[in-house]
Every structure is written in structure tokens, then in C-alpha cells.
Amino acid sequence: MGTRTVQWALNELKQLNVVVIASIIESDGSVPAKVGAKMAISSTGRIHGTVGGAGLELKIEEKLHRMLNGESGGIEKYVLSTLSEDVNTTNLNSLCGGRVTVAFERMEPVPHILLMGGGHVAKAISESCDLLGWAYSVFDERNNYVSSERFPNSVERISSSAADFLKGEDATSLTRFSDILLLGHDWSIDQALLIGILSYDGVLATRIGCIGSKTKWREFSKSSKIEGVERQKLDSVRCPIGMRIGAVTVEEIAFSVCSEIIQLIRE
């Protein structure tokens, strides 16, 4: 019982949606659903599963919506009766008389980072992702830099020209990535990708970061404005990326970049 709801929740998480889920962990007496029944809501507003309907389900759904807005989870007890005097339970307007204990949990999606460039820094970031349990994909115009040997755990390995990549994507399709990091070996490729991504119609929900100096970013900003990129979109890009820890080696840079992403998630 509840297996399909768990599978649905996992699929929502893969799409980078937050999921809150309620599970009946104890029941006694006459109740609309038994132990194992689950109900889940994603940050998209979609709902899956049931905990029995009626007043119980309404209360649980209200709690799940509050959790999406920041309320904590935990365990709550419900009595399907108006007569209970137990202060540790929530009474429901019902004649069933049963009791249920419900566990509430909020599930956060793990980051899925698109590494735009498969060089040394990207390799180090991918290894950090492995340690953190994050997902990553990699793009490079050079086929040997997106090989399965180089990035064995990559979700996607994309080898094409920057122009072809941009033609095959849009603001909506890129939401499968939590972060896009421009790490290319050629500044002109990074610039073309940046301008192309920021020029897509609609709101780009994915965070974008670019490796490089402040001087490089000034040139990128100038070129982006000439191409008509909206100032608001340009201002959302982080460059240079990474926490300011004085990183020098590629491993230190990878650590600083992942630390920055953690900070952005926790804010």
C-alpha cells in the first residue's frame, strides 16, 4: 500500500520538485484507511494518493500545503470523533471513532548540475557530486571530454556544437537541471552558450554560474547587452562561481563551487 505514491514522489524529485508526504503509521478501530496509506503533494500543486478521504484527508492535505510553505513535519495523531479529550490528538467531525497516527515528511530534490565543459574543473566537480549524492550531466563540443570513462556516473553526456545544443533546448527543458555551470575551455563557447540560454523566452528557473575572472565577466556582460539580453536575467548569473576561500587547485575550486550551491539551497 502506498508504493505507487512513493514512486510518484521519486519521479517528482527527479524533476527537481519538492515533495511533502503523509503516511499512516498506526491505526486503531474504524478508520477510512489503514497503515501504509500515503498522500503526497509536490511543489507544482499536483497530488497523489489518499489517506481515506473525508475530514481526515482534508486535515492532512491542509497540513501538507503548510509544509510546502515552511511548516515542519513530524508525527500527529487524529481521532475520528468529536468526543475525545486527549490534548495530544486532533479531533475530527466524524462518528467512526477510530484513531490514526500520521507521519509527515518533506523531501527535497538533490541538485542536478549541468557541467558545460568537460575539463579538469568539471571532472573534479563531478567527483564532488558523487560524494554528495548529487546528479550531474556534462556537455562538451569535444566528444572525448564527455566519455563514459571520464564521467561514469553522468546522467546525460552531450557532445554537440553550442549552436546545436541551444537549438535543442529551451527555458522549460533546462529546468531538469538545478544548476548550469559554464566551465568551457574556450571563452567564445561559454559566451555563446550564456547569451543563447539567457535569450530563451520565458523565465529560466535554473541557476547559472560561470567560471572566470571579473574582467571576463565584464566582457560577457557587454556582449550579452549588445545581443539584447535582459538585464534582470544577466544579473542572476554568478561569476566568478564558488565560495571565496582562496581556492587554487581544481579540487579546491570544486569544493568551493559545491559549497556555494549548498549555501544557495539553504538560503
Assess contact for 184 and 162: CB atoms under 8 A.
no
pLDDT along the chain (267 residues), means of 10: 89 92 86 84 94 80 93 86 54 63 92 96 97 96 96 96 96 95 94 95 91 91 92 93 93 96 89
Q: Are residues 76 and 124 in the same domain?
A: no
Q: Are residues 92 and 46 in the same domain?
A: yes
Say what the pLDDT of residue 223 is: 93
47, 74, 107 - which closes a domain: 107
Q: What's the first-to-final CA gap in the chain, in angstroms?
A: 36
pLDDT digits (tens, 9 = 90+) for 186-196: 999 999 999 99
Short-list 121, 132, 127, CA closest to 140: 121
Say what the pLDDT of residue 78 is: 81
Say what the pLDDT of residue 131 is: 96
Q: Are residues 66 and 125 in the same domain?
A: no
Short-list 97, 93, 60, CA closest to 75: 60
Q: Where in 11-148 does DSSP place strands (E)? A: 19-28, 38-42, 47-49, 74-79, 89-91, 99-107, 112-116, 135-139
107, 126, 157 - which closes a domain: 107
Q: Are residues 90 and 139 in the same domain?
A: no
Q: Are residues 160 and 185 in the same domain?
A: yes
Q: Are residues 122 and 103 in the same domain?
A: no
CA distance 92 to 213: 61
What CATH number did the domain enclosing 171 receive? 3.40.50.720
DSSP assigned state of 173: G
Q: Are residues 153 and 226 in the same domain?
A: yes
Q: Are residues 129 and 253 in the same domain?
A: yes
Q: Are residues 25 and 118 in the same domain?
A: no
Phi then psi dihedrals of residue 180, to 5 deg: -120, 120
Q: Are residues 132 and 238 in the same domain?
A: yes
Q: Are residues 244 and 116 in the same domain?
A: yes
Assess contact for 54 and 32: CB atoms under 8 A.
yes
20: β partners: 41, 106
Question: Whole-model pTM?
Answer: 0.80
Q: Are residues 85 and 132 in the same domain?
A: no
Assess contact for 242 and 256: CB atoms under 8 A.
yes
The number of distinct structural domains making up the chain is 2
Dihedral sign of CA atoms 226, 231, 236, 241 in order: positive
Q: Which domain holds residue 7?
A: 3-107
Say what the pLDDT of residue 87 is: 46
Short-list 137, 132, 178, 139, CA closest to 154: 137
